[in-house]
Structure formats: C-alpha cells, structure tokens
A and B are shown apart, each in its own frame.
Chain A
Amino acid sequence: MAAKATRAAFGEALIDLGAKDPRIVTLDSDLSKSTMTVSFAKKYPDRAFNVGIAEANMIGVAAGLAMAGKVPFAASFACFLVGRFETIRISVAYTNANVKLVGTHVGVAIGEDGYSQMGLEDIACIRALPNIPIIQPADEVECKQVIAYAAEHQGPLYLRLTRQNLEPVSPAGYQFRLGQWARLRDGSDVTVIASGGTVFNALEAAQQLEGDGIRAEVINAASIKPLDEEMLLASARKTGHVVTVEDHSIAGGLGGAVSEALCEALPTAMKRLGVQGFGESGDPKGLYVKHGLDATGIARSVRKFLGR
C-alpha cells in the first residue's frame, strides 16, 4: 500500500460513507480542495456547504445541522478551525452537538506555508473541553476506520489529519477503537508513544535503536482523548521510561496528556518530543530534523534520555 495523506483518505472515506448514510453532510470554509471534501461536494452537491471564509459561522451552522439530525463533518485547517475555540466550546462541546470537527494541515510537516497555517496548539485547546474525543490516525487504513467510526459515534469529535503522505503502519487485521492504542512493536527498555505523522518515524527510530541494543516498544496513540490508560500503564510498568513524539506543541498535546496520566497513576521517567516555540517555513523533512521528530532525531533523544 502506497503512502497517503490522511486528509486524502478522509476525502475518499467520506464518499463511501456518504452513499450509505444520507445524514452525512460536509461544511467547508473555502478550503475544500485542501481538506479534500471537494470530491464529496462533487458527488453530493446538495449535501456539501461551502460557507466562505467564515469558520465560526461554519461551526455554528454545523451544530444547527446536527440538531436537525444531520451528521456534519466541518473541515478546515486545524489552526483556523480550533482558532474559533469559543464557538466550539459552546455551540459544539457544551451543546453536545453531533458535529465532526476535522482539522487538517497539522504540524510543522505542512512545511513551506509556515507557522500561520500550522495546527500546533489544537490538541491542547480541544483537550481542555469536556465531551470532545480527539483522534489522530497514522495512516490510510486507520484513517478510513476512524472516519467510519466518527460517522457512527453519537456526539462531537475532533479529528486531526495530515497534509503530508503517511507510510502505512497499521498491522494486518487492525481495528481502530476509541480509547485503545495499537502496540506496533514490542520492547522492554523504553516506551515510545507516537501519533499521526510521527508514528512511522518512531518505528524507524526503534529499528536504529535496536542496533544499539535498545529495545523500544512503539505505540500508535491514535486515540489522544481518551488515552488508552491500560496500555500506557502496562508498558510504562514494563519499560520504566516513556517518550512521546508528536507534531504539535510540546505543551498540552499527547505528551501533556500522557504526563498527566502517568504522574497520577504511575510516576515514570518521561521525555516529551514535539515542537518548541513557533513553527516556520521550510521543507517538511528539514523541519522534522530541526525539531528532532525524524527517525534519527527521535533515536538520538531516546539514547540521551536513557543515558546510553
């Protein structure tokens, strides 16, 4: 299976689901060609609403459609969508409106467009809201399962999707479940928990570390909220060292969520890898190297963390 962006997998999944479920509608704010809802809009023009560059209104209209029985997927770049936090807070979360918020173009991996287009604080914001689970799929297979799950899930959701292509990582027979992580590689020295665009790099890093005699357990944490506490605690108990890897601000994201859970239930030595400060323009690979989110960078941080 070829590498594919999760936004592309999202667009394809919507078309299939749209045929089965007439409740599904899409909302866009002039980014449908980027969020990939454009194909759904072509196939179901009566069920796709482009409200113009007006994200707050888009979120509110989605909430209203949900209250009238539709299952709206409201998509934009993660930063623009979650930037309308107060509307999400009241019209979606507090209302418990059955709206699927889809934030694309997450992380520094969008590259050249630079910081203003990068979703880097979206997890931190949405994590603070009751009622909204956060899911970040790591490849095409997982993404399509997540979209199908989202359509069936009663209540709001936040989905975090990438612009860049992602290499397949899901094992054969994989089935996504909310609140359940996938152990992609067994290990005993360190637990590496990654999500979305960093999962493949974490797997490659684990391979590099094996050459140094370090056995890294690699977990794909698609379900960022809720966490899979059972798997987290079991793995932390086994390895005694936990590293999180995410293309998101170092503050308040997956690393923050894991830290909070561990510090209450099982204090464990931890290292959070993520984006420090603002992003910037550049080629995506270069940005991953700069922030230590490439395989070599992750492996280097793990070695340093373990003192080996």
Chain B
Amino acid sequence: MDIARLEAIARGCRVQIERMLTHAGSGHPGGSNSVADLLVALYFGRLRVDPKRPDWPDRDRVILSKGHAVPALYAAMSRAGFFPESQLISLRKLGSPLQGHPDRNALPGIEAATGSLGQGLSIALGEALGLKMAGSPARVYCILGDGEIQEGQVWEAAMSGPKLGQPSHPLDNLCAILDYNKIQLDGFVTDILDLEPVVAKWQAFGWAVQEIDGHNFAQIGKALDQAEATKGKPSFIVANTVKGKGVPWMENNPEWHGKAPKPQEAIRAIRDLLGVSEAAWDEYLTRDSATKAVVDELAALEKT
C-alpha cells in the first residue's frame, strides 16, 4: 500500500481517536496517537486477517500490550471492517464491547485482555509457540509501551523469548514493537525510570533488534519486512515515536497521557490533525462532509 494512503488512513484514525475519547469523557490520547501509525501499518497491507472471520485459526495476531492505547486499535479495526465506525463512540459506555481497555471476550478481533501492564509479551510468546507447534503460518505482533517495560514480567518474557520453543519451534513468527514515546503517566520516562540503553538491552537478551522512526511508514514497512525475514529468533523493533503525535499542543506533553479533550479541544485537535488553519476551517468543512458530521456531533455534545 502506498505511503500517502497509509498516512491518510492514520490521519482518519487520529480524528476518530479524538472523537471517541471526547464522547467517552476519559481515556488516553497521548499514547493512542503515538501508536496509531504502527497499528495502521499493521492493519492495512501487513496483517493476514479477515474481519469477517475474527477466529480464523491462521490469522495474524496483534496484542496491544499497552492496552490503554486501545482507542487507536479500535479506530484501525473499525476502518479495517471489524465493526462499524458508528460504534466507536460507544467507547467506555455501559454495555459496549469497546471496553476502556481491551477485552478479548467483549469484541471479536481483540486478541488479549491487556491494560494491566507487563502481561502482553508473555501471552504473545505462548501464542507464537502454539501457532508454530500447529504448523500455522500466522505471525504474532505485540506492541509494548515504554513505561510498560519497567514491569518485571516483561523481562521474564524478554529472557524467555529467544529460548522458548528451541530448537524445533523458534519464535521467529513473533515481532514485538516498542512504542517509545518517552512519556509515561507521571512524566518523562528518563525522570521516572530510564530504559536506556534499550536497544542494547534487547540485543543482549537475544532478540533481533531494529530501531526506527515509528511515524515513518517506509521505515515501519521495511522493519516489518526484515522481522518476517529473520529466522531462528524473535524480532524487536524500537519505534521512536512522539506522544500525542499529530496534535501540536498535545505532542510531548505528559498532561495529555490520560485526559480526554473537551468538545472544543477535540474540534481544534481535528483541525490541527487535518492541517487546516482556523480561517479556512468553515470553508474546509463545506468540502469534507464526513469531518463536518464528526465536528457537528462534538459541538452538540458540548450543549448537552
């Protein structure tokens, strides 16, 4: 898939992230926006999945271990056809399959219950191993947060990954991706518990490590190709990202880790995401009816 198209899809997903978080009144915009490009790169042109058969045994799996960024996953899944876009605004509402953190039993296509940080990579190891034993061609992708890898269980899994299944079933069907946006809930990762040297650490644990710009679709695609071509060991991609990517006043700001925008803030964020000036906005909306509908819906939210 060409890069301009992936960028357009990612922009659309980020618009949906602002929309759904504002309707929910809570959630995590910063980490959703930082991971969005990685998820779009996976769901559009990479994953072998069929939204009509979410339980297809040989499907590729995505485990979003940093479960708080699930709005980005819901946006990508809905765009990919797993459920209608209209359902996105049920996020975090009573009875909705779009739980505040991923629930495997609530929404078909969610592969693991995550959000309790540190658990996803172990699950990914087990799935990758089980798929290998079954002779399945499926691949497993696990997306970790940077703050998340401060959890001890991640390092148990890190030590286990290159060894598990050897020699007959090495986990080269597994690719873990670190959404390295440098900010966690309480502040900057370097101030709370620095991860560096993070590339050297995963290399030392025996993973095939690459480091990329996690917002550059060419680099993401190439790294995923190389992970697929790597044999005998699991891959680990350190994706350098920007927290709140796409909304200038959210970028690199710890304040937007876990706070939903208000309707007017969301509208401004959407305008910034689309790169439209304030002066040109009204005129722009006359030409983009889909965005206008989202904006009207958000504006109505403020009145209620």
Contact = CB atoms under 8 A, between A and B. Distances in A.
A214 B289 CA distance: 84
A96 interface: yes
A65 interface: yes
B160 A95 contact: no
Interface in A29-45: none
B127 A51 contact: no
A57 interface: yes
Q: Tell me which of A61, A63, A64, A70 has the highest count of chain B C-beta atoms within 10 A of its own C-beta.
A: A64
B152 A60 contact: no
Contacts of B130: 64-70
Given A87-B119, A94-B113, A64 B124 contact: yes
A94 B99 CA distance: 13
Contacts of B160: 51-52, 54, 57, 61
A91 B113 contact: yes
B153 A90 contact: no
B123 A64 contact: yes
Given A64-B124, A69-B134, A96-B105, A91 B119 contact: yes
A57 B160 CA distance: 8
B126 A61 contact: yes
Contacts of B116: 86, 89-90
Contacts of B124: 64
Interface in A45-92: 46, 49, 51-52, 54, 56-70, 72, 86-87, 89-91
Contacts of B146: none
Contacts of A56: 118-119, 122, 152-153, 156
Interface string B112-154: 1111101111111111111101101000000000000000110
Contacts of B105: 94-96
Contacts of B112: 63, 67, 91, 95
B185 interface: no
Interface size class of A (residues with CB under 8 A): 20 to 34
A64 B168 CA distance: 18
B57 interface: yes
B157 interface: yes
Contact of A49 (B57, B111, B115, B129): B129
Given A56-B156, A91-B113, A63 B122 contact: yes
Contacts of B201: none
B104 interface: yes
Interface residues of B, number: 37
B57 A69 contact: yes
A87 B122 CA distance: 10
B125 A64 contact: yes
Contacts of B159: 52, 54
A61 to B, nearest CB: 4
Contact of B122 (A57, A70, A89): A57
A91 B152 CA distance: 15
Contacts of B121: 60
B164 A64 contact: no
B103 interface: yes
Interface in B207-244: none
A64 B113 contact: no
A56 B156 CA distance: 8
Nearest to A46: B168
A210 B118 CA distance: 56
Interface in B43-63: 57
Contacts of B114: 90
B127 A64 contact: yes
A58 B115 CA distance: 19
Nearest to B130: A68
Interface in A151-210: none
A60 B113 contact: no
A57 B127 contact: no
Interface in A97-136: none
A95 B118 CA distance: 15
A10 B70 CA distance: 40
A31 to B, nearest CB: 15
Nearest to A91: B119
B134 A57 contact: no
Contact of B129 (A57, A64, A90): A64
- Residue of B124, B160, B169 most packed against chain A (CB within 10 A): B160
A57 to B, nearest CB: 4
10 contacts: A46-B133, A57-B153, A57-B157, A61-B126, A63-B126, A68-B134, A87-B153, A90-B119, A96-B104, A96-B105
Interface of A: 46, 49, 51-52, 54, 56-70, 72, 86-87, 89-91, 94-96
Q: Nearest 10 pairs between A and B by C-beta? A: A64-B126, A60-B122, A68-B130, A57-B156, A54-B156, A61-B126, A64-B127, A56-B153, A64-B123, A65-B126
Given A56-B156, A91-B113, 7 more contacts: A46-B133, A49-B165, A56-B122, A56-B153, A61-B125, A90-B113, A96-B105
